[in-house]
Structure 1
Amino acid sequence: MDLDALNAAFALPNVLRFVEGQGGLTLIEVDNGLARATLTAHGAQVLSYRPAEARDDLLFVSERAYFAPDQEIKGGVPICWPWFGRDPDDPERIIHGFARLRDWSVPACEMRPDGAIWVRFGLADDESTRALRPHYFNLWVEVTVGATLSVSLTTRNAGDEPFTITQGLHAYFKIGDPAQTHVLGLDGCRYLDKAADAPPDAAGVQSGSLGLEAEVNRIYESVPQCLTIEDKALSRRIRIESHNSHTCVVWNPWIVGSRSMPDLDDEDYRRFVCVETVNAASEVIRVAPRQEVRIGAEYRLESL
C-alpha cells in the first residue's frame, strides 16, 4: 500500500498514522486519548487495544505470530469468512476461510464527535476468490477505537444468486492465569465439543461458569448477547456484547495444542482465551442477491 497516500488522506497528527510494520504489512496506529490501538490492513485485523486507564492490553498476539502476506496472524481479532472452521465444500482448504489472509483496502477513516476513531476496511471478490467460491461479494470491516472497542463485519451479495456463509470474529483475549479465569454467561447453553480428545459429535450443556483446566474447543448455541471473561490474575473483567450472533466459540489449545502450533509459544495457552462472536454450526447465514448481513461485537474492559 502507498503509505504516503494513506497518510495524506487520513492521518491525524498525534492521533492516527499509517506505518510499515513487521513483514512489510500496513499498520494503523491510533492514540486518541481514549485508547491506544494497532490495526493492520492484512486481514482487516485489530492487533492491540488498550484503554487509557488500563494496565494491560485487551488482546493477545503471539510472539511467534507470522507477519507475512498469505499468512494468518495468530492473535488480535482475526476475521473468519466465508466459512468458520473447515470449508464444508472442501475440508482440505485453509481453516476459517481466506478473508484473514488478504490485504484489504482502507477507504475511510474519521474521528467521531466523542473522539473515537472509526476505520473502514474493504474487500471484494476477484478471480482468485471466485476460484474458491464462485460468488460476487463486497465485505467491510468497521473498527471503532474509543472507550470501548467495536468490530463489525458486513457482507454484501453483489451477484444475482443467493449464497450461504459461516463467519466469526476470532478474538484472542489476554489473560493472566487460566486457573484464575472464567467465562460467565453460558450457563444452560448447549455446546458441541470439538476438543482433540472428544468423541465425534460430542455435546453437552454448560453448568455454571466455564473454567480453563484443559483444552477447550466448544461451539455454544443459543447464547445470550452479553458474555464476560473474569480474570482475577489481571484484576479485570472483559465484557463482550455481540450483535447478530447466536453462537459462540470458546477455545484454549492447552499444553499439547500450544506445542503443536509453530506460531504459538509452548506456554502461550497460559496467556489467552478465545471467546468468539460467530455464526457457526447450525447458524448458517443465507445472503440474498443485493442484500447485506452484519455481525459485530463490542469489547469493554472493567476493573474487578
Structure 2
Amino acid sequence: MHEHPLQRFFKSLREQPVFAWERFQMRDVLVIDHPLCQAVFSRQGAQLLHFQPRGQKPWLWCAAKWPQVGAIRGGVPVCWPWYGRHPSENAWPSHGWARLIDWKLLDSSSDDDGVRLHWQLQLCDWQVDLHAHLGETLELRLSTEHQDELPCQLSHALHAYWRIGHVDEVALSGLDGAQGYDQLNRQACQQEGELRVDGGCQRVFQHEGELHLKDHAWQRELCIDTGDSADTVVWHPGSRPLLGVSFNEASGFVCVESAMAGASLAPGERAHLSLQARAGV
C-alpha cells in the first residue's frame, strides 16, 4: 500500500494547531489536525486532497506527483462551470476553471464535532461557495449563484477519488435498477446488482441517495451519498494510462461523483450540489 503523499504533515509527535498553511509541490495547502480527523485542502481549487478520521485509513486518494501548473489529480476536485469537455470551446480546459484558480477561505472554525470551512470564488458574473464539514464524517456543499442579467448554462461536479485497497476488490451497491449511460460503450445501460469497476468504467446514472463502496482488500465500507444531484458518476480508467500517475497508483482509487449537467439558470438563481460520506457499519 502506498502512503498518501500528504500524510507527511502528520508524522510529528508535537502538538499542532488545528489549521496551518504549508507549501507543498508549489501549492499552498491548508493542513487540518483535529482530534476527530486529519485533512488537507489546496488553496488552488478549494480542493480537499486528504481526509482521514482518527484510527482509520485515508478516505481520499491523491496522486504522489503534481504538475508544476494545472489541475491536481485526486481528492475532490470542484469541476465548474462545466463538467468534462466544454460543449463548444475545445481549447478550454476539461472540467472548467474552478479547479485551476485560487479560492478565498472566508471562514474556518473547529469544535467538538469537527471543523467547518467556507471557501468562495468570484468569477465574472458568478459566485461559487464551497462549505465543508469534516469530523467523523465528510460533507461538502457547493452552491452557485448566477448574477448576470441573462440566463446561462451550468454543469458541475464534485469529482471524488475514493481511496481503496485495490480496484479489483471493490464493489459498489445501491445502484441496482438505476438507468444510466455507459460513456465507454456509448450506449444506455441499466445496472443489475453490484457494480464492479475493474477493467475500466465511465457510467453516468440517474440516481439519488446513498451508495455503499465495499472494499474487500481493506475490509471496510464507505457509505457515499450524492444527495439530490441529477447524476451519480462512477469512473475508473482501467488499463488506460493517466498522465503523471503510475498503474500501481491508479489501482488505489475509484471515483464516485456527484454531478449535474446542462442546467439552465435564470438571473439570480442558485444551483446546489452535495457530497457526503460516512464509515459503514
The reply to whether TM is greater than 0.5 is yes
Aligned counterpart, 2:223 = 239
Q: Counterpart in 1 of 2:80?
A: 81
Q: What is the number of residues matched between the two proteins?
A: 267
Partner of 1:100: helix, strand, or coil? helix
The aligned residue for residue 58 of structure 1 is 59
1:92-171 alignment runs, 5 A limit: 92-112=91-111, 114-126=112-124, 136-171=125-160
Check if 1:266 corresponds to 2:265.
no
Quote the Cα distance in structure 1 between the aligned partners of 2:268 and 2:109. Answer: 27
Residue 175 of structure 2 contacts residue 191 of structure 2 at CA under 8 Å; is this kept in 1? Answer: yes
The letter of the residue matching 1:295 is L
Report deviation, 1:13: 6.2
Give the whole-Å Cα distance in 2 for the aligned partners of 1:96 and 1:152. 18
1:96-135 deviations in whole A, cap 9, x for unaligned?
Answer: 11110111111111124x3311111111114xxxxxxxxx
1:46 aligns with 2:24: no
Structure 2: tracts of 5 or more residues without a match: 1-14
Which of 227-236 and 262-271 deviates more? Answer: 262-271
Q: Which residue of 2 aligns with 1:294?
A: 272
Q: Is the aligned partner of 1:217 residue 2:199? A: no
Matched, 1:285 2:263: yes
Question: Which of the numbers 17, 20, 29 marks the counterpart of 2:23?
Answer: 20
Between the two proteins, what is the percent identity of the paired residues? 27
Q: Structure 1, unaligned stretches of length 5 or more? A: 1-11, 127-135
Extract structure 1 runs of 4+ deviating beyond 4 A: none
Q: Distance in 2 between matches of 1:227 and 1:91?
A: 34
Q: What TM-score do you get using the length of structure 2 for normalisation?
A: 0.90
| Aligned-partner residue type, residue 167 of structure 1 | H
The alignment partner of 2:247 has SS state of coil
Contact 2:137–2:278 under 8 Å retained in 1: yes
The structure richer in strand per residue is: 2
Aligned equivalents of 2:279 and 2:50: distance in 1?
Answer: 13
Two-structure CA RMSD over aligned residues (Å) = 1.7
Report which of the two has the higher share of helix: 1
Given that 1:185 and 1:224 are in contact with CA atoms closer than 8 Å, whether structure 2 keeps it comes out as: no
Length-normalised TM-score, structure 1: 0.83
Q: Which residue among 164, 180, 185 is the counterpart of 1:175?
A: 164
